[in-house]
Chain A
């Protein structure tokens, strides 16, 4: 039961990263792939109508975590207090910049909101990347299973660590690059004209750049957390994750060279899923490592809610997911195909 819930919560996180990741990526590349005001509206229109649907996955993930692993949410959110509020403020600014940018047909107004859009997406990618690094590395959990952490201490990933050290910073850089690549692949699929051509170029460059970075963070992860790799060797889900990863790389490479944009974008989503599946299954059953003492680490079994709560959640969750997918299929079919400024803006976006 608890292992299943670990998988479900991981699935919701994966869905959030794959879905909102495209918006982060498109946001970070906004200035370089779109140069004129028309082109910039095109990028916003490509992510516009569904961004809040994507962000809801974060809410769904948070709510489910609260229901089934309340102690994890309590420890992690209180411990990351300031970093988490930075994420919240960036999410607010990002959402606002998408919504209000197109409201006034004025160059200065749109330029300002484009700026907010780009900067908040960059910060979000960096913060989420650093957060992923923190989960892989561990946090200074004490014997009560709580922690409170500085932004950075001595930049070393052991002992009394901070949010940022050389390992989490390199994870942040890696995340920024692959999410940008993901966004570029998405824009290639959804746009036409100069934005499409520039996005295709950036996608190629960023995916190629991601390869050495991936090697580097893998070696670093092994340095920081050798146990993780030993555990991963014995976990069939890790091997599955690797397999998915390799398959997705072929998907992206063949999709881009054959200009099959949908195939490349599916590959890009699968790649993010593969990375996260590998990470999540290597960590299991631990949900939060302690860098101070291994016995302080919180496993899924330590943080789970009471049995009856898990049973109740197992009843409604599948129903909720089925409904969510139904709405999505309905709406996504209506938004299929390239965006068109003439049809999709109605004066906004």
Chain B
């Protein structure tokens, strides 16, 4: 463990991992929620039903808070390529910089131009332009996700590049780089997962209001939209996108697949472990309970297919934290399965007309919303831990990528700074979102009134004094 702590790449990795994990709590909701808002605004335009406008106004406020925290925590991500990963930037900037810059030019300009209009511009814009603003924000958030996933896909499965003068990476084929098959699969998987987060949050608020007997019509709307989208998105996360993603890993990163499944020995009829802990020192999976042949079938299409084991590879290309990788992957799968079951049951109950009367189901739906966040983060941990020890898979190692001039102490110092600042930011966010939920969607918007000049108690005291 000591070697970890004195390893400068470790602290830069930790800081990137921490700031990215925190950052991604916010965009995953905005990417999921954006389409709910677009849909409701569209219904409001079509039907003129004020219910939908109320829903848009309420969720736009939640969206706005998420968006703001997403923006301010996102800027450090781009900067860290230069501050902490200077050697990597110098080497690969000509390739990965393209999509990071394109994200700014194509997505952020669109999103940030319209987000203010969506949240505060209803009166200035009128209903049609307000709908356009919602659409612009939703498209912008998904385009942004696409460019980030192209960047990540290049690091997972580099294509379309070549090594040019001074040993720097250049673009050999822009279309191969932008349409990396890994990126297309990962993007679909990730966006579906974001929709799961969005629909679980919408459902949870609907369940909360129903349980309290508040805002009945709005709560119904949230519940019904939430569970329907939730079911569809949960299924799509698993099939076909998650399945395709696993096959992609099996094809291009077989050692990662072996580590994800804790397979130390290769073989045909390879099983999927339901339970079991990888024991890296002894090179085995402790107390495994397996579905025989399932891994062979899922990864390569036949129960008899051969699955490579970790033993077939030198340890220096093994992912450097096999236990964490294994647990992240398995817990993600477990949660994903539970999401499908829960949402299927909720839709069934809704079809029977018993959704709003089933108190315990409403409780479960209300308390379920943190778990998609956890599953999303676990999925990203699987992707990024599985990529180790490479920064660009098979091309450039993580230990060569960090900034040589940044000392361990500097990196730890800024990491602690982020932990403190983000803790306060998190409290602030929860407090404000909690307040908005407390006010609810029915609240009339107050425009004229601003902060009173003096607290009322003092005014009253003064008046009494004069009397």
Q: Which residues on A are within 8 Å of B, measured CB to CB?
A: 36-38, 41, 48-50, 52-53, 55-56, 58-60, 62-68, 70-71, 73-82, 84-85, 88-89, 91-92, 95-96, 99-100, 103-107, 110, 146-148, 305-313, 315-317, 320-321, 323-324, 327-328, 330-331, 334-335, 341-349
**B181 interfacial contact with A, CB 8 Å:** no
Per DSSP, chain B at the interface is helix
Nearest Cβ distance between residue A79 and chain B, in whole angstroms?
Answer: 6
A-B contact pairs, 20 of them (CB 8 A): A55-B112, A63-B104, A66-B81, A67-B97, A77-B79, A81-B405, A81-B406, A96-B425, A148-B406, A306-B169, A309-B94, A309-B171, A312-B171, A320-B109, A328-B113, A330-B113, A334-B125, A343-B447, A346-B120, A347-B447
**B251 interfacial contact with A, CB 8 Å:** no
Contact of B93 among A53, A67, A104, A107 (CB under 8 A): A67
Cα–Cα distance between A96 and B69 once the two chains are bound (Å): 7
Q: Are A327 and B93 in contact (CB under 8 A)?
A: no
**B375 interfacial contact with A, CB 8 Å:** no
Q: Are A103 and B104 in contact (CB under 8 A)?
A: no
The residue on B at minimum CB distance from A92 is B72
How does the 8 Å CB contact mask read for B101-117 relative to A, with 1 for contact and 0 for none? 11111101110111111
**B282 interfacial contact with A, CB 8 Å:** no
**B245 interfacial contact with A, CB 8 Å:** no
Q: Are B421 and A89 in contact (CB under 8 A)?
A: yes
**B451 interfacial contact with A, CB 8 Å:** yes
Q: Are B122 and A53 in contact (CB under 8 A)?
A: no
Cα–Cα distance between A63 and B77 once the two chains are bound (Å): 11
Q: Are A306 and B165 in contact (CB under 8 A)?
A: yes
**B366 interfacial contact with A, CB 8 Å:** no
Given contacts A52-B112, A67-B101, A70-B94, A95 and B448 within 8 Å (CB-CB): no
B residues less than 8 Å from A41 (CB atoms): 450
**B314 interfacial contact with A, CB 8 Å:** no
Q: In the complex, how many residues of chain B place their beta carbon closer than 8 angstroms to a beta carbon of chain A? A: 87
Q: Are B171 and A324 in contact (CB under 8 A)?
A: no
Contact of B75 among A58, A64, A328 (CB under 8 A): A58
Cα–Cα distance between A63 and B455 once the two chains are bound (Å): 48
Total contacts A-B at CB 8 Å = 276
A residues less than 8 Å from B451 (CB atoms): 37, 105-107, 110
Q: Are A48 and B113 in contact (CB under 8 A)?
A: no
The residue on B at minimum CB distance from A104 is B435
Q: Are B124 and A334 in contact (CB under 8 A)?
A: yes
**B50 interfacial contact with A, CB 8 Å:** no
Q: Are B170 and A81 in contact (CB under 8 A)?
A: no
Cα–Cα distance between A347 and B98 once the two chains are bound (Å): 40
Contact of B79 among A38, A88, A96, A107 (CB under 8 A): A88
**B274 interfacial contact with A, CB 8 Å:** no
**B162 interfacial contact with A, CB 8 Å:** yes
A residues less than 8 Å from B69 (CB atoms): 96
**B437 interfacial contact with A, CB 8 Å:** no
Cα–Cα distance between A315 and B435 once the two chains are bound (Å): 47
**B428 interfacial contact with A, CB 8 Å:** yes
Q: Are B410 and A334 in contact (CB under 8 A)?
A: no
Cα–Cα distance between A313 and B105 once the two chains are bound (Å): 11
B residues less than 8 Å from A341 (CB atoms): 447-448, 450
- Apart from A95-B71, A100-B65, A316-B106, 5 more pairs, CB < 8 Å: A52-B112, A68-B97, A92-B421, A96-B428, A100-B432
Contact of B170 among A96, A306, A328, A334 (CB under 8 A): A306
B residues less than 8 Å from A73 (CB atoms): 81-82, 89, 93
Nearest Cβ distance between residue A92 and chain B, in whole angstroms?
Answer: 4
**B368 interfacial contact with A, CB 8 Å:** no
Cα–Cα distance between A327 and B105 once the two chains are bound (Å): 11
B residues less than 8 Å from A58 (CB atoms): 75
The residue on B at minimum CB distance from A321 is B105
Nearest Cβ distance between residue B144 and chain A, in whole angstroms?
Answer: 10
Given contacts A73-B82, A305-B168, A306-B165, A59 and B75 within 8 Å (CB-CB): yes
**B457 interfacial contact with A, CB 8 Å:** no
A residues less than 8 Å from B89 (CB atoms): 66, 70-71, 73-74
Cα–Cα distance between A300 and B291 once the two chains are bound (Å): 59
Q: Are B162 and A308 in contact (CB under 8 A)?
A: yes
A residues less than 8 Å from B94 (CB atoms): 67-68, 70, 305-306, 308-310
Given contacts A306-B170, A334-B124, A74 and B82 within 8 Å (CB-CB): yes
The residue on A at minimum CB distance from B76 is A88
Q: Are A324 and B109 in contact (CB under 8 A)?
A: yes
**B136 interfacial contact with A, CB 8 Å:** yes
Q: Are B123 and A346 in contact (CB under 8 A)?
A: yes
B residues less than 8 Å from A346 (CB atoms): 120, 122-123, 445, 447
Nearest Cβ distance between residue B362 and chain A, in whole angstroms?
Answer: 29
The residue on B at minimum CB distance from A111 is B451
Given contacts A91-B72, A331-B114, A348-B119, A312 and B98 within 8 Å (CB-CB): yes
Q: Are A92 and B425 in contact (CB under 8 A)?
A: yes
Given contacts A48-B120, A105-B451, A74 and B90 within 8 Å (CB-CB): yes
Cα–Cα distance between A25 and B89 once the two chains are bound (Å): 33
A-B pairs, 5 with minimum CB distance: A70-B93, A77-B82, A320-B105, A49-B116, A309-B94
Q: Are B171 and A63 in contact (CB under 8 A)?
A: no
**B350 interfacial contact with A, CB 8 Å:** no
Q: Are A88 and B110 in contact (CB under 8 A)?
A: no
**B20 interfacial contact with A, CB 8 Å:** no
Given contacts A306-B169, A331-B113, A348 and B83 within 8 Å (CB-CB): no
Given contacts A49-B120, A68-B97, A62 and B78 within 8 Å (CB-CB): yes
Contact of A100 among B103, B169, B428 (CB under 8 A): B428
Given contacts A63-B78, A306-B164, A327 and B110 within 8 Å (CB-CB): yes
Q: Are A52 and B162 in contact (CB under 8 A)?
A: no
Cα–Cα distance between A64 and B68 once the two chains are bound (Å): 23
A residues less than 8 Å from B87 (CB atoms): 74
The residue on A at minimum CB distance from B78 is A62
Nearest Cβ distance between residue A342 and chain B, in whole angstroms?
Answer: 6
Nearest Cβ distance between residue B365 and chain A, in whole angstroms?
Answer: 28
**B414 interfacial contact with A, CB 8 Å:** yes
How does the 8 Å CB contact mask read for B173-201 relative to A, with 1 for contact and 0 for none? 01000000000000000000000000000
**B172 interfacial contact with A, CB 8 Å:** yes
Cα–Cα distance between A76 and B403 once the two chains are bound (Å): 11
Given contacts A85-B83, A91-B75, A323 and B168 within 8 Å (CB-CB): no
Nearest Cβ distance between residue B250 and chain A, in whole angstroms?
Answer: 31
Nearest Cβ distance between residue A12 and chain B, in whole angstroms?
Answer: 9
